[in-house]
Chains A and B, each alone.
Chain A
Amino acid sequence: MAFEGLTERLQKAMTNLRRKGKVSESDLRQTMREIRLALLEADVNFTVVKDFVKTVRDRALGAKVLDGLNPAQQIVKIVDEELTKTMGETAVPLNKSAKIPTIIMMAGLQGAGKTTTVGKLALKLKNEQNARPLMIAADVYRPAAIQQLQQVGDQIDVPVFQLGTDVDPVEIVRQGLAEAEANHNDYVFIDTAGRLQIDEQLMDELANIKALAHPDEILLVIDAMTGQNAVNTAQGFDDKLDITGVVLTKLDGDTRGGAALSIRAVTGKPIKFIGQGEKMTDLDVFHPDRMSNRILGMGDMLTLIEKA
Protein backbone atom coordinates (compact mmCIF):
# COMPACT_ATOMS: atom_id res chain seq x y z
CA MET A 1 0.00 0.00 0.00
CA ALA A 2 1.19 3.49 -0.86
CA PHE A 3 0.90 4.64 2.75
CA GLU A 4 3.65 2.44 4.01
CA GLY A 5 6.20 3.89 1.65
CA LEU A 6 5.16 7.30 2.81
CA THR A 7 5.50 6.58 6.51
CA GLU A 8 8.77 4.80 5.94
CA ARG A 9 10.20 7.76 4.10
CA LEU A 10 9.17 10.09 6.87
CA GLN A 11 10.66 7.73 9.39
CA LYS A 12 13.95 7.75 7.54
CA ALA A 13 14.03 11.50 7.46
CA MET A 14 13.30 11.59 11.17
CA THR A 15 15.96 9.00 11.95
CA ASN A 16 18.55 11.09 10.16
CA LEU A 17 17.59 14.02 12.30
CA ARG A 18 17.54 12.04 15.46
CA ARG A 19 21.19 11.10 15.22
CA LYS A 20 22.20 14.72 15.44
CA GLY A 21 22.24 16.96 18.46
CA LYS A 22 20.83 19.98 16.72
CA VAL A 23 18.94 20.70 13.52
CA SER A 24 20.85 22.35 10.74
CA GLU A 25 19.04 24.22 8.02
CA SER A 26 19.79 21.51 5.52
CA ASP A 27 18.41 18.83 7.86
CA LEU A 28 15.29 20.84 8.18
CA ARG A 29 15.02 21.34 4.46
CA GLN A 30 15.28 17.60 3.90
CA THR A 31 12.63 16.81 6.50
CA MET A 32 10.27 19.46 5.21
CA ARG A 33 10.67 18.03 1.72
CA GLU A 34 9.48 14.67 2.95
CA ILE A 35 6.57 16.21 4.81
CA ARG A 36 5.61 18.19 1.74
CA LEU A 37 5.68 15.01 -0.32
CA ALA A 38 3.63 13.08 2.19
CA LEU A 39 1.00 15.80 2.25
CA LEU A 40 0.81 15.90 -1.54
CA GLU A 41 0.45 12.15 -1.73
CA ALA A 42 -2.34 12.41 0.80
CA ASP A 43 -4.11 14.78 -1.65
CA VAL A 44 -3.70 17.99 0.32
CA ASN A 45 -3.92 20.85 -2.14
CA PHE A 46 -0.51 22.06 -3.24
CA THR A 47 -1.00 25.70 -2.29
CA VAL A 48 -2.24 24.61 1.13
CA VAL A 49 0.86 22.41 1.40
CA LYS A 50 3.13 25.33 0.53
CA ASP A 51 1.65 27.50 3.25
CA PHE A 52 1.68 24.70 5.76
CA VAL A 53 5.29 23.77 5.14
CA LYS A 54 6.32 27.42 5.42
CA THR A 55 4.56 27.79 8.77
CA VAL A 56 6.20 24.69 10.16
CA ARG A 57 9.63 25.68 8.85
CA ASP A 58 9.42 29.16 10.33
CA ARG A 59 8.35 27.80 13.68
CA ALA A 60 11.02 25.10 13.67
CA LEU A 61 13.75 27.59 12.86
CA GLY A 62 12.62 30.01 15.52
CA ALA A 63 11.96 27.37 18.14
CA LYS A 64 14.08 27.20 21.24
CA VAL A 65 15.35 23.76 22.03
CA LEU A 66 12.92 22.36 24.54
CA ASP A 67 14.00 20.37 27.54
CA GLY A 68 13.87 16.67 27.01
CA LEU A 69 13.13 16.88 23.27
CA ASN A 70 15.65 16.33 20.54
CA PRO A 71 15.32 18.18 17.21
CA ALA A 72 13.46 15.35 15.50
CA GLN A 73 10.91 15.16 18.25
CA GLN A 74 10.49 18.86 18.16
CA ILE A 75 9.68 18.97 14.46
CA VAL A 76 7.18 16.16 14.76
CA LYS A 77 5.54 18.02 17.58
CA ILE A 78 5.33 21.23 15.57
CA VAL A 79 3.89 19.39 12.55
CA ASP A 80 1.32 17.70 14.74
CA GLU A 81 0.32 20.94 16.45
CA GLU A 82 0.01 22.84 13.19
CA LEU A 83 -1.98 20.06 11.52
CA THR A 84 -4.41 19.88 14.39
CA LYS A 85 -4.69 23.66 14.48
CA THR A 86 -5.50 23.86 10.76
CA MET A 87 -7.97 21.05 11.12
CA GLY A 88 -9.87 22.80 13.92
CA GLU A 89 -9.22 21.98 17.53
CA THR A 90 -12.43 20.32 18.70
CA ALA A 91 -15.50 18.65 17.31
CA VAL A 92 -18.29 21.10 16.44
CA PRO A 93 -21.92 20.02 16.98
CA LEU A 94 -24.83 20.57 14.60
CA ASN A 95 -26.43 24.03 14.80
CA LYS A 96 -29.81 24.14 16.47
CA SER A 97 -32.51 26.74 16.08
CA ALA A 98 -34.04 28.34 19.19
CA LYS A 99 -37.47 27.53 17.89
CA ILE A 100 -38.46 24.52 15.82
CA PRO A 101 -37.81 23.51 13.17
CA THR A 102 -34.05 23.48 12.75
CA ILE A 103 -33.51 23.57 9.00
CA ILE A 104 -30.58 21.72 7.49
CA MET A 105 -29.78 22.06 3.83
CA MET A 106 -27.37 19.84 1.90
CA ALA A 107 -25.15 20.86 -0.99
CA GLY A 108 -22.37 19.28 -2.99
CA LEU A 109 -21.10 17.79 -6.22
CA GLN A 110 -22.80 14.86 -7.93
CA GLY A 111 -22.49 11.55 -6.11
CA ALA A 112 -20.77 12.98 -3.02
CA GLY A 113 -23.22 11.33 -0.62
CA LYS A 114 -25.82 14.00 0.16
CA THR A 115 -28.93 11.82 0.08
CA THR A 116 -27.31 9.06 2.11
CA THR A 117 -26.05 11.58 4.66
CA VAL A 118 -29.52 13.12 5.05
CA GLY A 119 -30.79 9.70 6.08
CA LYS A 120 -27.89 9.09 8.44
CA LEU A 121 -28.29 12.46 10.18
CA ALA A 122 -32.05 12.10 10.49
CA LEU A 123 -31.61 8.68 12.08
CA LYS A 124 -28.95 9.98 14.44
CA LEU A 125 -31.20 12.82 15.65
CA LYS A 126 -34.07 10.43 16.00
CA ASN A 127 -32.03 8.02 18.08
CA GLU A 128 -30.24 10.58 20.21
CA GLN A 129 -32.86 13.26 20.70
CA ASN A 130 -36.09 11.53 19.89
CA ALA A 131 -36.36 14.02 17.06
CA ARG A 132 -39.22 14.04 14.53
CA PRO A 133 -37.50 15.02 11.29
CA LEU A 134 -39.01 15.65 7.87
CA MET A 135 -36.97 15.18 4.71
CA ILE A 136 -37.75 17.30 1.66
CA ALA A 137 -37.00 15.79 -1.77
CA ALA A 138 -35.71 18.79 -3.73
CA ASP A 139 -33.68 16.88 -6.31
CA VAL A 140 -35.86 16.84 -9.41
CA TYR A 141 -33.02 16.09 -11.84
CA ARG A 142 -31.26 12.84 -11.01
CA PRO A 143 -33.22 9.80 -12.19
CA ALA A 144 -35.08 8.23 -9.25
CA ALA A 145 -33.59 10.65 -6.71
CA ILE A 146 -36.99 10.94 -5.03
CA GLN A 147 -37.46 7.17 -4.85
CA GLN A 148 -34.00 6.92 -3.34
CA LEU A 149 -34.88 9.36 -0.57
CA GLN A 150 -38.21 7.63 -0.03
CA GLN A 151 -36.53 4.26 0.38
CA VAL A 152 -34.09 5.81 2.82
CA GLY A 153 -37.07 7.29 4.66
CA ASP A 154 -38.75 3.87 4.81
CA GLN A 155 -35.59 2.29 6.21
CA ILE A 156 -35.30 4.76 9.08
CA ASP A 157 -39.00 5.48 9.42
CA VAL A 158 -38.82 9.19 8.69
CA PRO A 159 -41.38 10.92 6.44
CA VAL A 160 -40.43 12.42 3.06
CA PHE A 161 -42.12 15.43 1.49
CA GLN A 162 -42.14 15.36 -2.31
CA LEU A 163 -44.00 16.91 -5.22
CA GLY A 164 -42.59 14.80 -8.03
CA THR A 165 -40.16 16.11 -10.61
CA ASP A 166 -42.28 18.70 -12.42
CA VAL A 167 -42.30 21.32 -9.67
CA ASP A 168 -39.55 23.87 -9.15
CA PRO A 169 -37.27 22.88 -6.24
CA VAL A 170 -37.73 26.25 -4.53
CA GLU A 171 -41.48 25.73 -4.57
CA ILE A 172 -41.05 22.18 -3.25
CA VAL A 173 -39.06 23.55 -0.34
CA ARG A 174 -41.66 26.25 0.33
CA GLN A 175 -44.46 23.71 0.54
CA GLY A 176 -42.28 21.28 2.47
CA LEU A 177 -41.58 23.88 5.13
CA ALA A 178 -45.30 24.60 5.43
CA GLU A 179 -45.90 20.90 5.90
CA ALA A 180 -43.22 20.73 8.60
CA GLU A 181 -44.83 23.62 10.41
CA ALA A 182 -48.24 22.00 10.28
CA ASN A 183 -46.83 18.73 11.61
CA HIS A 184 -44.52 20.31 14.21
CA ASN A 185 -41.45 18.58 12.89
CA ASP A 186 -38.43 19.68 14.88
CA TYR A 187 -35.87 19.11 12.13
CA VAL A 188 -36.18 19.61 8.38
CA PHE A 189 -33.64 18.26 5.92
CA ILE A 190 -33.48 19.58 2.38
CA ASP A 191 -31.92 17.06 -0.02
CA THR A 192 -30.71 18.90 -3.10
CA ALA A 193 -29.44 17.66 -6.44
CA GLY A 194 -25.71 17.31 -7.02
CA ARG A 195 -24.23 20.15 -9.05
CA LEU A 196 -20.93 21.63 -10.15
CA GLN A 197 -19.87 24.79 -8.35
CA ILE A 198 -19.36 26.38 -11.78
CA ASP A 199 -22.96 25.71 -12.87
CA GLU A 200 -24.38 29.19 -12.37
CA GLN A 201 -27.99 28.32 -12.95
CA LEU A 202 -28.03 25.47 -10.46
CA MET A 203 -25.95 27.43 -7.95
CA ASP A 204 -28.53 30.22 -8.17
CA GLU A 205 -31.18 27.65 -7.41
CA LEU A 206 -29.40 26.79 -4.16
CA ALA A 207 -29.07 30.47 -3.31
CA ASN A 208 -32.82 30.86 -3.85
CA ILE A 209 -33.58 27.90 -1.61
CA LYS A 210 -31.33 29.42 1.03
CA ALA A 211 -33.03 32.82 0.75
CA LEU A 212 -36.42 31.19 1.22
CA ALA A 213 -35.62 28.70 3.95
CA HIS A 214 -32.99 30.53 6.04
CA PRO A 215 -31.33 27.24 6.98
CA ASP A 216 -29.63 26.99 10.36
CA GLU A 217 -27.11 24.70 8.82
CA ILE A 218 -25.83 24.43 5.25
CA LEU A 219 -23.73 21.31 5.00
CA LEU A 220 -21.33 20.85 2.12
CA VAL A 221 -20.92 17.13 1.46
CA ILE A 222 -17.54 16.17 0.04
CA ASP A 223 -16.12 12.82 -1.00
CA ALA A 224 -12.99 12.05 1.06
CA MET A 225 -11.28 10.64 -2.03
CA THR A 226 -11.32 14.04 -3.71
CA GLY A 227 -7.96 15.26 -4.95
CA GLN A 228 -6.50 18.70 -5.56
CA ASN A 229 -9.83 20.00 -6.78
CA ALA A 230 -11.37 19.95 -3.29
CA VAL A 231 -10.36 23.58 -2.79
CA ASN A 232 -12.23 24.74 -5.91
CA THR A 233 -15.36 22.89 -4.87
CA ALA A 234 -15.27 24.10 -1.29
CA GLN A 235 -14.49 27.67 -2.27
CA GLY A 236 -17.19 27.72 -4.95
CA PHE A 237 -19.95 26.47 -2.67
CA ASP A 238 -18.81 28.60 0.25
CA ASP A 239 -18.65 31.78 -1.82
CA LYS A 240 -22.17 31.26 -3.07
CA LEU A 241 -23.84 29.89 0.06
CA ASP A 242 -21.65 30.76 3.03
CA ILE A 243 -21.81 27.18 4.24
CA THR A 244 -21.88 26.41 7.96
CA GLY A 245 -20.18 23.03 7.94
CA VAL A 246 -18.81 20.11 6.01
CA VAL A 247 -19.50 16.37 5.94
CA LEU A 248 -16.69 14.20 4.63
CA THR A 249 -17.97 10.91 3.21
CA LYS A 250 -16.54 7.53 2.22
CA LEU A 251 -13.81 7.57 4.84
CA ASP A 252 -14.33 3.83 5.24
CA GLY A 253 -12.07 3.48 2.20
CA ASP A 254 -8.28 3.52 2.15
CA THR A 255 -7.90 7.17 1.20
CA ARG A 256 -5.69 9.42 3.32
CA GLY A 257 -8.31 12.13 3.09
CA GLY A 258 -6.03 15.12 2.64
CA ALA A 259 -9.02 16.96 1.17
CA ALA A 260 -10.08 17.55 4.77
CA LEU A 261 -7.07 19.77 5.35
CA SER A 262 -7.60 21.66 2.07
CA ILE A 263 -11.25 22.34 2.79
CA ARG A 264 -10.52 23.60 6.28
CA ALA A 265 -7.71 25.78 5.07
CA VAL A 266 -9.69 27.51 2.32
CA THR A 267 -13.09 27.86 3.99
CA GLY A 268 -12.28 27.88 7.69
CA LYS A 269 -15.60 26.05 8.14
CA PRO A 270 -15.75 23.09 10.51
CA ILE A 271 -15.98 19.53 9.33
CA LYS A 272 -18.81 18.27 11.51
CA PHE A 273 -19.36 14.66 10.52
CA ILE A 274 -17.71 11.87 8.62
CA GLY A 275 -19.38 9.11 6.63
CA GLN A 276 -17.90 5.70 7.29
CA GLY A 277 -20.04 3.37 5.24
CA GLU A 278 -23.26 2.90 3.32
CA LYS A 279 -25.46 1.89 6.23
CA MET A 280 -27.65 4.45 7.93
CA THR A 281 -25.69 4.06 11.16
CA ASP A 282 -22.32 4.70 9.51
CA LEU A 283 -21.96 8.33 10.54
CA ASP A 284 -19.50 9.66 13.10
CA VAL A 285 -18.58 12.93 14.71
CA PHE A 286 -15.46 14.43 13.19
CA HIS A 287 -12.32 14.39 15.35
CA PRO A 288 -9.63 16.77 14.05
CA ASP A 289 -6.78 14.96 15.81
CA ARG A 290 -7.70 11.59 14.33
CA MET A 291 -7.91 13.15 10.90
CA SER A 292 -4.44 14.67 11.23
CA ASN A 293 -3.14 11.27 12.21
CA ARG A 294 -4.71 9.73 9.19
CA ILE A 295 -3.43 12.28 6.70
CA LEU A 296 0.23 12.18 7.66
CA GLY A 297 0.37 8.88 9.46
CA MET A 298 1.00 11.08 12.49
CA GLY A 299 0.07 8.21 14.75
CA ASP A 300 3.20 6.49 13.53
CA MET A 301 5.15 9.71 13.79
CA LEU A 302 4.11 10.24 17.37
CA THR A 303 5.19 6.76 18.35
CA LEU A 304 8.48 7.72 16.73
CA ILE A 305 8.77 10.51 19.26
CA GLU A 306 8.74 7.92 21.97
CA LYS A 307 11.45 5.94 20.26
CA ALA A 308 13.54 8.99 19.43
Chain B
Amino acid sequence: ANFRHVDEAFFDDLEDTLIESDVGYETAMQISEDLRDEVKLQNAKSKKEISSVIVEKLVDMYGEAGEGEDNSIHLAESGPTVILFVGVNGAGKTTTIGKMANMYKQQGKKVLLAACDTFRAGAIQQLQVWGQRDGVDVVAGAERSDPASVCFDAVKKAKAEDYDILFVDTAGRLQNKVNLMNELEKIKRVITREIPAAPQEVLLVLDATTGQNALNQAKLFKQSTAVTGIVLTKLDGTARGGIVLAIRNELHLAVKYVGLGEKVTDLRPFNANDFVYGLFKDVITG
Protein backbone atom coordinates (compact mmCIF):
# COMPACT_ATOMS: atom_id res chain seq x y z
CA ALA B 1 0.00 0.00 0.00
CA ASN B 2 2.80 2.40 0.80
CA PHE B 3 4.68 1.20 -2.25
CA ARG B 4 4.00 4.32 -4.33
CA HIS B 5 5.34 6.39 -1.52
CA VAL B 6 8.65 4.56 -1.29
CA ASP B 7 8.70 4.37 -5.03
CA GLU B 8 8.48 8.06 -5.93
CA ALA B 9 10.79 9.48 -3.29
CA PHE B 10 13.20 6.69 -3.92
CA PHE B 11 13.31 7.26 -7.65
CA ASP B 12 13.77 10.99 -7.24
CA ASP B 13 16.77 10.27 -5.06
CA LEU B 14 17.99 7.72 -7.53
CA GLU B 15 17.88 10.19 -10.42
CA ASP B 16 19.80 12.74 -8.40
CA THR B 17 22.36 10.16 -7.37
CA LEU B 18 22.79 9.04 -10.94
CA ILE B 19 23.29 12.58 -12.18
CA GLU B 20 25.66 13.25 -9.33
CA SER B 21 27.81 10.30 -10.36
CA ASP B 22 28.27 11.83 -13.84
CA VAL B 23 26.33 9.27 -15.87
CA GLY B 24 24.76 12.23 -17.68
CA TYR B 25 21.15 13.41 -17.78
CA GLU B 26 19.95 11.25 -20.64
CA THR B 27 21.46 8.09 -19.24
CA ALA B 28 20.13 8.88 -15.77
CA MET B 29 16.59 9.26 -17.07
CA GLN B 30 16.81 6.17 -19.22
CA ILE B 31 18.14 4.04 -16.40
CA SER B 32 15.58 5.33 -13.99
CA GLU B 33 12.75 4.58 -16.43
CA ASP B 34 14.01 1.05 -17.00
CA LEU B 35 14.32 0.52 -13.29
CA ARG B 36 10.81 1.72 -12.50
CA ASP B 37 9.49 -0.87 -14.91
CA GLU B 38 11.68 -3.57 -13.48
CA VAL B 39 10.72 -2.82 -9.90
CA LYS B 40 7.04 -2.98 -10.83
CA LEU B 41 7.58 -6.15 -12.79
CA GLN B 42 9.22 -7.88 -9.87
CA ASN B 43 6.67 -6.41 -7.51
CA ALA B 44 9.37 -5.27 -5.12
CA LYS B 45 7.91 -3.48 -2.12
CA SER B 46 10.38 -2.66 0.58
CA LYS B 47 13.27 -0.31 -0.01
CA LYS B 48 15.60 -3.22 0.54
CA GLU B 49 13.93 -5.30 -2.13
CA ILE B 50 13.98 -2.39 -4.54
CA SER B 51 17.67 -1.86 -3.90
CA SER B 52 18.62 -5.39 -4.73
CA VAL B 53 16.47 -5.40 -7.87
CA ILE B 54 18.20 -2.21 -8.93
CA VAL B 55 21.74 -3.40 -8.41
CA GLU B 56 20.98 -6.64 -10.23
CA LYS B 57 19.33 -4.87 -13.14
CA LEU B 58 22.11 -2.34 -13.46
CA VAL B 59 24.78 -4.98 -13.54
CA ASP B 60 22.75 -6.70 -16.26
CA MET B 61 22.39 -3.47 -18.18
CA TYR B 62 26.08 -2.82 -17.95
CA GLY B 63 26.76 -6.35 -19.12
CA GLU B 64 24.28 -6.24 -22.02
CA ALA B 65 25.78 -3.12 -23.52
CA GLY B 66 29.04 -4.99 -23.68
CA GLU B 67 27.71 -8.32 -24.93
CA GLY B 68 30.45 -10.25 -26.67
CA GLU B 69 33.25 -8.15 -25.22
CA ASP B 70 35.49 -9.27 -22.49
CA ASN B 71 37.46 -7.15 -20.14
CA SER B 72 40.63 -9.17 -20.05
CA ILE B 73 43.91 -7.96 -21.46
CA HIS B 74 44.74 -9.74 -24.70
CA LEU B 75 48.24 -11.07 -24.97
CA ALA B 76 50.01 -12.18 -28.13
CA GLU B 77 50.26 -15.94 -28.67
CA SER B 78 53.88 -15.57 -29.55
CA GLY B 79 56.30 -12.71 -29.67
CA PRO B 80 55.90 -9.45 -27.76
CA THR B 81 52.51 -8.04 -26.78
CA VAL B 82 52.32 -4.28 -27.23
CA ILE B 83 49.99 -2.20 -25.07
CA LEU B 84 49.56 1.42 -26.09
CA PHE B 85 48.33 3.97 -23.55
CA VAL B 86 46.41 7.04 -24.66
CA GLY B 87 44.44 9.77 -22.92
CA VAL B 88 44.14 13.42 -22.02
CA ASN B 89 46.64 15.31 -19.88
CA GLY B 90 47.11 14.15 -16.32
CA ALA B 91 44.63 11.25 -16.49
CA GLY B 92 47.09 8.73 -15.05
CA LYS B 93 48.69 7.00 -18.05
CA THR B 94 52.25 6.88 -16.76
CA THR B 95 51.19 5.78 -13.27
CA THR B 96 48.95 3.04 -14.65
CA ILE B 97 51.84 1.73 -16.74
CA GLY B 98 53.97 1.67 -13.60
CA LYS B 99 51.32 -0.37 -11.80
CA MET B 100 50.54 -2.71 -14.67
CA ALA B 101 54.17 -3.36 -15.52
CA ASN B 102 54.72 -4.45 -11.94
CA MET B 103 51.72 -6.77 -12.10
CA TYR B 104 53.03 -8.59 -15.16
CA LYS B 105 56.58 -8.63 -13.85
CA GLN B 106 55.26 -10.37 -10.73
CA GLN B 107 53.67 -12.95 -13.05
CA GLY B 108 57.12 -13.69 -14.42
CA LYS B 109 56.85 -11.76 -17.67
CA LYS B 110 59.74 -9.91 -19.24
CA VAL B 111 58.52 -6.32 -19.41
CA LEU B 112 59.75 -3.28 -21.35
CA LEU B 113 58.56 0.34 -21.14
CA ALA B 114 58.77 2.92 -23.93
CA ALA B 115 58.99 6.58 -22.90
CA CYS B 116 57.17 8.13 -25.86
CA ASP B 117 56.11 11.22 -23.95
CA THR B 118 59.08 13.29 -25.00
CA PHE B 119 57.17 16.54 -24.58
CA ARG B 120 56.07 17.12 -21.00
CA ALA B 121 58.67 18.31 -18.51
CA GLY B 122 59.95 15.40 -16.42
CA ALA B 123 57.85 12.80 -18.23
CA ILE B 124 60.78 10.61 -19.24
CA GLN B 125 62.24 10.68 -15.73
CA GLN B 126 58.84 9.87 -14.26
CA LEU B 127 58.62 6.68 -16.33
CA GLN B 128 62.23 5.85 -15.51
CA VAL B 129 61.50 6.06 -11.78
CA TRP B 130 58.65 3.59 -12.31
CA GLY B 131 61.00 1.36 -14.30
CA GLN B 132 63.44 1.31 -11.39
CA ARG B 133 60.69 0.64 -8.84
CA ASP B 134 59.36 -2.23 -10.90
CA GLY B 135 62.77 -3.52 -11.91
CA VAL B 136 61.96 -3.36 -15.63
CA ASP B 137 63.80 -1.82 -18.57
CA VAL B 138 62.91 1.50 -20.15
CA VAL B 139 63.65 2.71 -23.68
CA ALA B 140 63.97 6.50 -23.80
CA GLY B 141 65.15 9.09 -26.26
CA ALA B 142 66.16 12.70 -25.86
CA GLU B 143 63.66 15.30 -24.69
CA ARG B 144 61.64 16.70 -27.57
CA SER B 145 62.74 13.87 -29.85
CA ASP B 146 60.21 12.25 -32.18
CA PRO B 147 57.97 9.96 -30.10
CA ALA B 148 57.35 7.65 -33.05
CA SER B 149 61.06 7.00 -33.39
CA VAL B 150 61.39 6.19 -29.67
CA CYS B 151 58.50 3.80 -30.15
CA PHE B 152 60.22 2.24 -33.16
CA ASP B 153 63.39 1.63 -31.13
CA ALA B 154 61.39 0.09 -28.32
CA VAL B 155 59.45 -2.30 -30.57
CA LYS B 156 62.70 -3.36 -32.25
CA LYS B 157 64.28 -4.05 -28.89
CA ALA B 158 61.22 -5.93 -27.64
CA LYS B 159 61.38 -8.22 -30.68
CA ALA B 160 65.12 -8.69 -30.69
CA GLU B 161 65.43 -9.40 -26.99
CA ASP B 162 62.30 -11.50 -26.51
CA TYR B 163 60.34 -9.27 -24.21
CA ASP B 164 56.85 -10.55 -23.39
CA ILE B 165 55.13 -7.19 -23.00
CA LEU B 166 55.94 -3.67 -24.16
CA PHE B 167 54.05 -0.78 -22.55
CA VAL B 168 54.06 2.40 -24.63
CA ASP B 169 53.59 5.63 -22.66
CA THR B 170 52.42 8.62 -24.69
CA ALA B 171 52.07 12.31 -23.93
CA GLY B 172 48.71 13.50 -22.68
CA ARG B 173 46.67 15.26 -25.34
CA LEU B 174 43.22 16.77 -25.56
CA GLN B 175 41.10 14.98 -28.13
CA ASN B 176 40.33 18.14 -30.10
CA LYS B 177 44.00 18.72 -31.00
CA VAL B 178 44.19 17.38 -34.51
CA ASN B 179 47.99 17.47 -34.86
CA LEU B 180 48.51 15.61 -31.63
CA MET B 181 45.92 13.01 -32.52
CA ASN B 182 47.72 12.50 -35.85
CA GLU B 183 50.96 12.02 -33.96
CA LEU B 184 49.29 9.29 -31.94
CA GLU B 185 48.08 7.54 -35.08
CA LYS B 186 51.61 7.63 -36.38
CA ILE B 187 52.93 5.99 -33.21
CA LYS B 188 50.36 3.28 -33.62
CA ARG B 189 51.28 2.74 -37.27
CA VAL B 190 54.93 2.31 -36.35
CA ILE B 191 53.97 -0.46 -33.95
CA THR B 192 51.76 -2.27 -36.47
CA ARG B 193 54.38 -2.01 -39.19
CA GLU B 194 56.88 -3.87 -36.99
CA ILE B 195 54.40 -6.35 -35.49
CA PRO B 196 51.23 -6.72 -37.61
CA ALA B 197 49.07 -8.06 -34.75
CA ALA B 198 50.15 -5.24 -32.45
CA PRO B 199 49.15 -3.25 -30.51
CA GLN B 200 47.07 -5.98 -28.91
CA GLU B 201 45.54 -3.41 -26.60
CA VAL B 202 45.03 0.33 -26.86
CA LEU B 203 43.97 1.48 -23.41
CA LEU B 204 42.27 4.81 -22.92
CA VAL B 205 43.06 6.15 -19.47
CA LEU B 206 40.15 8.10 -18.06
CA ASP B 207 40.10 10.17 -14.88
CA ALA B 208 37.03 9.22 -12.82
CA THR B 209 36.47 12.87 -11.89
CA THR B 210 35.77 13.73 -15.53
CA GLY B 211 32.27 14.84 -16.44
CA GLN B 212 30.45 14.69 -19.75
CA ASN B 213 33.59 15.52 -21.73
CA ALA B 214 34.73 11.93 -21.21
CA LEU B 215 32.28 10.90 -23.89
CA ASN B 216 34.05 13.10 -26.43
CA GLN B 217 37.36 11.73 -25.24
CA ALA B 218 36.25 8.16 -25.77
CA LYS B 219 34.73 8.96 -29.16
CA LEU B 220 37.75 10.73 -30.62
CA PHE B 221 40.45 8.50 -29.16
CA LYS B 222 38.49 5.49 -30.37
CA GLN B 223 38.27 7.01 -33.81
CA SER B 224 41.98 7.69 -34.14
CA THR B 225 43.52 4.72 -32.35
CA ALA B 226 40.82 2.04 -32.15
CA VAL B 227 40.78 1.95 -28.36
CA THR B 228 40.16 -1.56 -26.98
CA GLY B 229 39.35 -0.71 -23.38
CA ILE B 230 39.38 1.80 -20.57
CA VAL B 231 41.36 2.18 -17.39
CA LEU B 232 39.36 4.28 -14.94
CA THR B 233 41.73 6.03 -12.53
CA LYS B 234 41.36 7.96 -9.28
CA LEU B 235 38.37 6.00 -8.06
CA ASP B 236 39.84 6.31 -4.57
CA GLY B 237 38.50 9.87 -4.49
CA THR B 238 34.92 11.02 -4.13
CA ALA B 239 34.12 10.89 -7.84
CA ARG B 240 32.13 7.88 -8.97
CA GLY B 241 33.06 7.69 -12.65
CA GLY B 242 29.47 7.21 -13.82
CA ILE B 243 30.33 8.51 -17.27
CA VAL B 244 31.66 5.06 -18.15
CA LEU B 245 28.04 3.85 -18.22
CA ALA B 246 27.26 6.32 -21.00
CA ILE B 247 30.49 5.41 -22.78
CA ARG B 248 29.58 1.77 -22.52
CA ASN B 249 26.11 2.41 -23.92
CA GLU B 250 27.16 4.63 -26.78
CA LEU B 251 30.55 3.32 -27.76
CA HIS B 252 30.64 -0.20 -26.35
CA LEU B 253 33.95 0.37 -24.66
CA ALA B 254 34.52 -1.63 -21.52
CA VAL B 255 36.49 -0.69 -18.44
CA LYS B 256 39.25 -3.24 -17.91
CA TYR B 257 41.07 -1.93 -14.87
CA VAL B 258 40.53 0.70 -12.21
CA GLY B 259 43.09 2.83 -10.38
CA LEU B 260 42.57 3.23 -6.65
CA GLY B 261 45.57 5.28 -5.59
CA GLU B 262 49.13 6.25 -6.37
CA LYS B 263 50.91 3.18 -5.07
CA VAL B 264 52.09 0.38 -7.31
CA THR B 265 49.52 -2.02 -5.86
CA ASP B 266 46.55 0.32 -6.36
CA LEU B 267 45.29 -1.33 -9.54
CA ARG B 268 42.34 -3.72 -9.73
CA PRO B 269 40.52 -5.57 -12.48
CA PHE B 270 37.18 -3.88 -13.09
CA ASN B 271 34.27 -5.50 -11.30
CA ALA B 272 30.86 -4.37 -12.57
CA ASN B 273 29.11 -5.43 -9.36
CA ASP B 274 31.37 -3.42 -7.10
CA PHE B 275 31.24 -0.47 -9.45
CA VAL B 276 27.46 -0.32 -9.68
CA TYR B 277 27.16 -0.80 -5.95
CA GLY B 278 29.56 2.10 -5.47
CA LEU B 279 27.39 4.31 -7.67
CA PHE B 280 24.33 3.74 -5.55
CA LYS B 281 25.47 2.94 -2.12
CA ASP B 282 24.11 6.24 -0.77
CA VAL B 283 20.61 5.59 -2.04
CA ILE B 284 20.73 1.99 -0.97
CA THR B 285 22.14 2.39 2.50
CA GLY B 286 21.09 5.95 3.19
Contacts and interface: CB of A to CB of B under 8 A. Distances in A.
A148 B213 contact: no
Nearest to B122: A148
A71 interface: no
A88 interface: no
Contacts of A250: 88-90, 174
A14 interface: no
Interface in A139-191: 141-145, 147-152, 155
A258 B213 CA distance: 11
B125 A144 contact: yes
Nearest to B20: A228
Interface in B82-136: 88-92, 98, 119-123, 125-126, 128-130, 133
Contacts of B211: 43, 225-228, 255, 258-259
Contact of A229 (B126, B237, B262): B237
Contacts of A255: 211-213, 216
A111 B89 contact: yes
Contacts of B130: 143
A2 B91 CA distance: 22
Nearest to A224: B213
Interface in A223-274: 223, 225-230, 232-233, 250, 252-256, 258-259
Contacts of B239: 227-229, 232
* Range, interface on chain A: 35 or more
Interface stretch (A34-42, A52-60, A122-130): A34-42
B122 A225 contact: no
A240 to B, nearest CB: 14
B238 A112 contact: no
A111 B207 contact: yes
Interface string B141-174: 0010000000000000000000000000000001
A278 interface: yes
Contacts of B98: 143
B126 A228 contact: no
Nearest to A151: B121
B95 to A, nearest CB: 8
Q: Which of A112, A150, A226 has the most CB of B within 10 A?
A: A226
Given A223-B209, A253-B176, A278-B89, A141 B262 contact: yes
Contacts of A41: 24-25, 212
Contacts of B212: 2, 41-43, 227, 255-256
B175 A223 contact: no
B171 to A, nearest CB: 9
Interface in B166-189: 174-177
Nearest to B210: A225
Contacts, number: 145
Nearest to A253: B174
Interface in B189-247: 207, 209-216, 234, 236-240, 243
Contacts of A226: 209-211
B236 A196 contact: yes
Contacts of B76: none
Contacts of B44: none
A152 B123 CA distance: 12
Nearest to B89: A250
B213 A147 contact: no
A35 B207 CA distance: 27
B207 A148 contact: no
A61 interface: no
A113 interface: yes
Given A46-B16, A259-B211, A197 B238 contact: yes
Given A111-B207, A227-B209, A278-B120, A143 B90 contact: no
B19 A225 contact: no
A140 to B, nearest CB: 13
Nearest to A254: B176
Given A109-B237, A232-B238, A227 B210 contact: yes
Interface string A96-122: 000000000000011111011001000
Q: Which of A109, A110, A112, A250 has the most CB of B within 10 A?
A: A110
Given A141-B262, A253-B88, 19 more contacts: A43-B213, A46-B16, A111-B90, A111-B92, A115-B121, A143-B133, A147-B121, A148-B122, A196-B237, A227-B209, A227-B212, A228-B239, A229-B209, A232-B238, A232-B239, A252-B174, A252-B177, A255-B212, A259-B211
Interface of A: 1-2, 37, 40-43, 45-46, 109-113, 115-116, 119, 141-145, 147-152, 155, 196-198, 223, 225-230, 232-233, 250, 252-256, 258-259, 278
